[in-house]
Structure 1
Amino acid sequence: MTSMHPSGPGSLRLIFPQWQGAAGAAAVGSLPAGPPHQTQLSYHLGPALLELLSPEHDGPAAYVPVSIDTSDEAVETVDGIYARGTVLHQLREALALVSETAPDSVVTFGGECSVSVAPFSYLASQYGTDLAVLWVDAHPDTGLPGDSYTGFRSMSLATLAGEGDAEFIDALPAVVPPSNILHVGLQDWQDPGIANKQRMGIASVGITDTPEDTRRIVDWLALTGAAKLAVHVDLDVLDRRDFSGSTGNGTRGMRAPDLLRIIDVLGDAGEIVGLTLAQHAPLELLRLGGLLRDLPV
């Protein structure tokens, strides 16, 4: 289907269940019977389920150690970033794991959106301006420290493009020029990060349910001159008729067949060397877990 096969020996499968980028105990959704931060921790469970459901992988796998400490100290907002110390530490851990493996390509099963920063930065260090990034997401993720929302997931794409907290950017082996980044499926045009996205010059294509929109994506890729592509898929971009295990916005999202068509066409137009699935929030399974804890099983 694409020129990168996720089970190939040159591909690293990175499991990165980071949840701290989603600020606030109620950041994911409603889980009234759960303890504080339980909804955020659903992002910690999601990547394991993605790995379990995926085809067998013949290449290396790496698991980023992610803290589940929800104490006030561990999730303290510092310099405008929620759980800043933990998130920065885990970013460095992920970069070290990917660099040690030195793969040709990386498939990431992640928690919240910021899990793409480490593998995509690594790929940018390997391929330079020959790498383009397709950010398939309902939200811009181009916020900055000091915005009203302090979760690092909202700053992940800006950081990858070289804007934001200096210590985070200094930790990256490379950044991606904004001209080599395309948003697809952006829905939240009221997000504070929109102004920054527009100032940076990051282009957008709407919810792609027509061949014309797909052609615009391929034309954009050709204009970049890049032969390699990293694709970030935030599952909240999907229409809830196709997938409800995230925090999507009802029946106005991208349909799953359209997403698959885009990936297929891009695999023909270039080499997909990075793919991330993020924001899997299996709240129903957490509710079921709570029920099981209260039953005499």
Structure 2
Amino acid sequence: MAEPTKAIFLLMPEWQGSASSRAMLITDGAAHLREDLPPAARFDVAVPQQAGDALGTPVARLSSVVAARDAARETLRSAEDPAITLGGDCASTLAGLDRAAERDPGVAVLWFDAHPDLQHPSTSPSGAASGMALRHALGLGIADLNGAHPIDPSRVLLVGAREVDAEEAQAIDELGIRSLAATSEGPAEAVRDWLTEIGATSVYVHIDLDVLDPAEFAAVHAPVPFGLAVSDLAGAVRAAVATAPLAGAAICEFAPATAEIASDDSPTVLRLLAALVSGGSR
């Protein structure tokens, strides 16, 4: 049996990258999750309280998104263990993903999300950084947010994306990004096969909780029908970290509208955390 991966947890209640009018529910979700994280391995990332400014770019609230990312980078600078970021919107993944790519150019990226987050800043209908997160991780957005160590698109697998803009679909095709539908049978086996095929030397796992089917998980801003079952997502994550060492991860967009929903759905987040650390040590 593989030994659990030793990891640190970055609690990053960043809401400024979200397009939702209820974006600040993310901070409530982060506060709820904080109680369940081991204090010795938990690091609180300082996120600006103010909304922030676009700084003359097409990216809404850019100043706060950049400040939060830089604070996460500083926290990660001296950390040795894989880092799991949680409690923020999808833009909160950027610091940890860039760190994983810096440490291992052969890292594979699993992007579990109802959206591919490949909107371009110049054409994004909302200007929200979350909808551009993968675009910036690939180094194809604006300089302020582009990763210092861009991910190779051939090493990205989209899983569960089912709300895709026309321009995002074009980018997926032009960049040759592989995808796996939420309705696919055996996602764990497919993930394992893909990691083996590309020769992944480590894996970064991005999870936007809206990848889950709304019938099983309600604590997101805008549920998208026909998502993954919790058991299928957890199984795919376990298969991933059993195939390649965990380089890092993010669990994003936990936005419970009420305390009751937070209590009902937080066990699912903890189940996914357990899956992430279930593989062997790096």
In the superposition, the TM-score normalised over structure 2's length comes to: 0.84
Alignment match, 2:161 = 186
Cα offset, 1:247, TM superposition? 2.9
Q: Does 1:228 align with 2:202?
A: yes
Structure 1 match to 2:257: 283
Q: How many residue pairs were aligned? A: 261
The unaligned stretches of length 5 or more in structure 1 are 29-38, 289-297
Is contact 2:112-2:159 (8 Å) kept? yes
Matches of 1:287 and 1:273 in 2, distance apart?
A: 31
SS in 1 for 2:164: coil
Q: Could you tell which deviates more after superposition, 91-100 or 194-203?
A: 194-203
What amino acid is the match of 1:189?
V
Q: Over residues 141-194 of structure 1, what are the superposed CA-to-partner deviations in whole Å (9 max), with x where a residue is unaligned?
A: 01111122200001111111111002322xx44221111111000111335423
Residue equivalent to 2:280: none
Are 1:41 and 2:9 an aligned pair?
no
Correspondence list, 1:120-269, <5 A: 120-129=97-106, 131-147=107-123, 148-169=125-146, 172-190=147-165, 192-207=167-182, 210-211=185-186, 213-249=187-223, 251-269=225-243
Letter of the structure 1 residue corresponding to residue 141 of structure 2 = G
1:273 matched to 2:247? The reply is yes
Take 1:3 and 1:287, find their aligned partners in 2: how far apart are those partners? 33
| Structure 2 equivalent of residue 110 of structure 1 | 87
The whole-number CA distance in structure 2 between the counterparts of 1:234 and 1:177 is: 21
Q: Residue 12 of structure 1 corresponds to which residue in structure 2?
A: 8
Per-residue displacement from partner, 1:14-72 (whole Å, max 9, x unpaired)? 1111111113xxx15xxxxxxxxxx2111122223223235x3653x3221112224xx
Q: Is the 8 A contact 1:2 1:263 kept in 2?
A: no
Change (3 A) 1:127 1:208: farther
1:35 match: none
CA contact (8 A) 2:12 2:44 kept: yes
* Cα separation, partners in 2 of 1:136 and 1:4, compared to 1, 3 Å: farther
Question: Which of the numbers 28, 31, 43 marks the counterpart of 1:62?
Answer: 43
Q: Cα gap change, 1:104/1:96 in structure 2, threshold over 3 Å: closer, same or farther?
A: same
TM-score (structure 1 length as normaliser): 0.80
Select between 151-160 and 81-90 the one with higher mean Cα deviation.
81-90
How far off is 1:134 after superposition? Answer: 0.2
Question: Matched residue of 2:95: which SS?
Answer: helix
1:107 & 1:174 partners in 2: Cα distance? 19
Counterpart amino acid of residue 65 in structure 1: A
Larger radius of gyration: 1
Percentage of identical aligned residues: 25
Structure 1 SS opposite 2:200? coil
Partner of 1:95: 73
Structure 1 residue ranges (4+ consecutive) displaced by more than 4 angstroms after TM superposition: 1-4
Question: Distance between the aligned counterparts of 1:191 and 1:2, measured in 2?
Answer: 42
